[in-house]
Amino acid sequence: MRIQWTILLAIICLGAFDVTSSRNVRKLARANGQFAFKLYKKVTAREHGNVFFSPFSISTALSMTYAGARGRTASEMRRVLGFRGFYVHNMFRSTLYSLKKKKGHYTLAVANRLFAQRKFKIRKTYKRLLSRKYFAGLNVLDFLRNPSKAASFINRWVKKNTNNKIRNIVNGNSVRGSLLVLANAIYFKGFWNIPFNPKYTRSGIFYSIPRKNVDMMHLKAKLAYAENHYLKCQILGLPYKGERLAMYVFLPKKRNGLKSLEKKINYKSVTSAVVNLRKQTIAVSFPKFKMTRGLKLKKFLMAMGMRRAFKRADFSGIARRGGLRVKDVVHKAFIEVDEKGTEAAAVTVVITNTATTLHPEFTADHPFLFLIRDNLTGSILFLGRLMKP
């Protein structure tokens, strides 16, 4: 019987991170950004509805796995994740350490955990690396004799570390026979730098298939904006408090233009577009929306070239016992966007009901791509598309 193990990611994502600014961290941001759009294109080629995930979180969990990979397994993972020319585990440590710092502008909690089969001997060097570089603790469970109880324990940990937003991500069948589960949970609540006034929120049409009436928020404010002729879209920056972190919305000029945008967009074009945004007064109409998306990433990662990790793997850096392989990578993400950001905030701003002809209009009434970015390092922390609010 072949031994299996599972990587688990559970994420609630509504905002952004604060990372140490350094040359190496920017290299990590670039690698993660390139990985983000490669994965996005694989996912959207198969998924036809809303998409939302945290490439940063996925990279973190896979990097913890990569720490124990050897030989061709490590080479494939390194190539897919873009880990070249720098000591990746130190870079993740710098990033994760900075996330633990308390910020007044938002609430952010990040947790990593190992759940190991009882009597399964993990190398001390591997446990030490994950503890020191990823701040990951260890729980011992019994996946072989009582997988349902083990799954319940993991689900309680996920629920606690996501403020009850993510539940039941695994069950007894999904963890049965596993020897190791790696979990990464992220919880975030943030506030818009310029909130929308609920007084001006009203029903409007969102041109999805079929079209749908949704709550549209409105404001007129000075925001980062540009029209991009290469991507054939409008780009708007909606900053969170502190303005280091922002949601960037890529709205196709045509209502059916998202597919064309998705073919052209990548980390380089996004970085170039964001750098060239300029603040100007703009009239914004933007939908309120909430989504929870679950993804099983095995098929996408294999299509990207990470094949040996799931079949003929060498994870001898984790344990001496042979036969370890990844069973699956499970990812779940939640986002909610409303007038105040992601939680109540009492800020008064000047908002108009409709736009005047003197200012550009940004009317997000049809499918668009959005991301949340750390403007200091260029890290793309969350990425998705809204097809139907």
Task: Write the DSSP symbol of residue 80.
Answer: H
Query: Quick one: average pLDDT of 140-163?
Result: 88
The pLDDT-based confidence of 274 (bands split at 50, 70, 90) is very high
Query: Quick one: average pLDDT of 279-292?
Result: 93
Residue 79 confidence (pLDDT) above 90: yes
Under CATH, to which class is 4-190+290-335 assigned?
alpha beta
pLDDT digits (tens, 9 = 90+) for 161-196: 777 877 888 888 888 888 888 887 777 667 899 999
User: What's the CA gap between 165 and 72, in Å, rounded?
Assistant: 38
Write the CB contacts of 146 (distance below 8 Å, at least 6 apart in sequence).
Answer: none
Query: Would you kindly state where each structural domain of the chain is located, as residue ranges?
Result: 4-190+290-335, 198-288+341-386
Under CATH, to which class is 198-288+341-386 assigned?
mainly beta
pTM for this prediction: 0.86
Write the CB contacts of 210 (distance below 8 Å, at least 6 apart in sequence).
Answer: none
pLDDT digits (tens, 9 = 90+) for 339-353: 876 322 212 122 222
Backbone region of residue 192 per phi and psi (left: phi > 0; alpha: psi in -120 to 50; beta: other values):
beta
Backbone angles phi, psi at 91, to 5 degrees: -70, -40
User: What's the CA gap between 358 and 220, in Å, rounded?
Assistant: 12
More confident residue, 206 or 1: 206
Q: 4-11 and 178-189: which strand pairing? A: parallel
Q: Are 287 and 214 in contact (CB under 8 A)?
A: yes
pLDDT digits (tens, 9 = 90+) for 218-253: 999 999 999 999 999 999 999 988 787 889 999 999
